[in-house]
Amino acid sequence: MILTFAQTSLIPLWIIIGYLVLLLGLGVISSKFFKGTAADYFVVSRSVGSFLLLMSVFGTTMTGFALVGSTGEAFAKGIGVYGLMASWSGLVHSGVFFLVGIRLWAVGKRNGYMTQCEYFSDRFESRSLGYLLFAILVLLLIPYLLVGVIASGRFLQATTAGMFPETFAMTLPNGNPHPLTGALPLWLGSLVVCGVVLGYVFFGGLRGAVWANTFQTIVFMVTGVIAFYLIAQKFGGLQAATAKLLASENAERTARGSQMGSAQFLTYCFVPLSVGMFPHLFQHWLTARSAKSFRLTVVAHPIFIAIVWVPCILIGVWAAGLFADGGLRLPKNPDGTPISNAVLGAMINQLVHSNVLSGLVGAGVLAAIMSSLDSQFVCIGTMFTNDIVVRLAGRDRFTDTQKIWISRAFILTIVGVTYGLAVYMMGDDRRSQSVFALGVWCFSGFAALFPLVFAAVYWRRTTRAGALACVLVTTAVWSVLFYRDIFAEKAPGSEDEKLIFGMMPVAIIFAASAVTLVVVSLITRPLSTATIDKFFDPLETN
């Protein structure tokens, strides 16, 4: 897949290099504050205040899709993409932070938890559940990580096309120069991104990720707004830009029309529930200094989503108008359809003609990608250390220093394995495409497990058997629908899930998960009173 057209100025690359160096510097500074304890490495000594929590949680939740994908989706499907993905997320994410996040923070603080699996295995008196969830959560996270690593390599390749024509020359099978000739190869771009993320999380742990995320969130929010302003100016203003779209054959992008169905629009509400089961977000919640630290996150999150998404949606639909009139050139898929992920880069390159803005937006996209990758790497390292090594060897077997080094070894291994897998996947377009399709399904998997976490914090009657059955049924239904999706016929270039009766598949999996949990819990033996007392405030009626 090709993202942008070639350019030869090295300015964008220098800006991106400067940005990556700044990130590494931030990692070095954050590591100076490291207190040497496991709690500090894994959950920042539960000391993160309101602002850092807001920025780190927002940065972790938003991936590169928030800039590049949202613009491309709006180009292809119109303004309805905002209501489908962004406004649902604003309502649902904050609801999950308020209703679930605060309670998990409280339980985590009382019992010293650092991972989701520790919590669930204690909550349901079941080590088996902990191990089962560990396997499922790691399996769901790996494609998510791969998507980030591959996307960063692709983005750097597209941004640097034409910069090194002799060192990285590429030709097409017919002998002509490849459109990406002279670009950093995929393996090198991904290696640089993995190296930088590893650099700031290896020594600083989650503190490094929190600090870096805060900086990266500011960067991708600001660059999005700057790009929007400059693109609008080139059109002759906001009104002129939309007028051009309305006058084009793509005017239907200004409404939802037939571009998405009402059942899909409604059932998309299940997808943002995934934040309730993301293990990396669970770990970020535990970093909060107090429950009050959540307040700003809960209130500002929907507004932050709007600040990032609205400019990108407008750029996307304006691009559709421009493209219809032949005013925008886009690289094409093998079937001749335009590659929608190339829209943002093309709008900047062909309208604004600014190498500085190209570099800034490049840094912004990488910021969005890396702000998710870092937390995921730390999270998997934390889970391996606490849920496998410490649990098998015994809680008091290792000192904190040993735990931190075990975790660092795991983080290093995971980054290496992820990078190796990414390079293997990038070697073949079909393999690479399948990772992106799988990445979309990962969100459905996390979202479908939401009934488990919601019941765990609110319903005392939830039983061990109910929890286990819920996880197993979710896995089974997810696997069946995923298998069905692999063989489904889709629109060329589409990575979306195949709808079921017009609904998002997650709605079906979620329903199966919730019904199983409730029914099995009601017919099996309740948990001991001691366990219930440990996880519920006795002053709170249920």
- DSSP 8-state class, residue 494: -
Does position 170 bind another protein by CB under 8 A?
Answer: no
d(CA 114, CA 385): 10
Return the number of the residue (100 or 380) whose C-beta is nearest another protein. Answer: 100
The answer to whether 343 contacts another protein (rule: CB under 8 A) is: no
- Nearest approach, Cβ of residue 392 and another protein (Å): 17
Does 111 interact with another protein (rule: CB under 8 A)? Answer: yes
- Contact between 112 and another protein (CB under 8 A)? yes
Cβ distance to another protein smaller for residue 46 or 154: 46
Task: Pick the stretch among 152-160, 241-249, 483-491, 494-502 that binds another protein (CB under 8 A).
Answer: 241-249
Minimal distance, residue 19 CB to another protein, in Å: 29
| Contact call for residue 534 and another protein (CB under 8 A) | yes
Listed ranges 90-98, 152-160, 408-416, 432-440: which one lies at the site for another protein (CB under 8 A): 90-98
User: What's the closest the beta carbon of residue 266 comes to another protein, in angstroms?
Assistant: 6
One character per residue 403-422, x = contact with another protein (rule: CB under 8 A)? --------------------
Note whether 92 and 80 are within 8 A (CB): no
Q: Which of 262, 483, 489, 492 binds another protein (CB under 8 A)?
A: 262
How many whole angstroms from its chain centre is CA 211? Answer: 18
φ, ψ (nearest 5 deg) of residue 288: -60, 140
Rule CB under 8 A: is residue 321 a binding residue for another protein? no
Rounded to an integer, what distance in angstroms lies between the CA atom of residue 83 and that of residue 86? 6
If one asks whether residue 530 binds another protein (CB under 8 A), the answer comes out as: yes
> How near is the Cβ of 62 to another protein at its closest, in Å?
14
Count Cβ atoms below 10 Å from residue 319 Cβ, excluding itself. 31
Nearer to another protein among residue 259 and residue 350 (C-beta) = 259
The site map against another protein for 40-79 (x = CB under 8 A) is x----x---------------------------------x
Phi, psi of 330, rounded to the nearest 5 degrees:
-130, 145
Give bridge partners of residue 288 from the DSSP assignment.
48
Q: Which residue among 5, 105, 282, 323 contacts another protein (CB under 8 A)?
A: 105
What is the C-alpha radius of gyration for the chain, rounded to an integer number of angstroms? 23
The span from the CA of 287 to the CA of 284, in Å, is 5
CB of 43 to another protein, least distance (A): 9
By the rule CB under 8 A, 542 interacts with another protein? no
How deeply is 532 buried, as exposed, middle or buried, from its count of CB atoms within 10 A (0-12, 13-18, 19+)? middle
Q: Are 270 and 504 a contacting pair, CB within 8 Å?
A: yes
Nearest distance from residue 105's CB to another protein, in Å? 7
Q: Which one, of 359, 349, 353, 345, lies nearest residue 14 by Cα? A: 359
501 binds another protein (CB under 8 A): no
Helix (H, G, I), strand (E, B) or coil at 171: strand
Residue 173 to residue 171: CA distance in whole angstroms: 7
Are residues 38 and 31 in contact, defined by beta-carbon separation less than 8 angstroms? no
In the window 20-39, what residues touch another protein (CB under 8 A)? 35-39
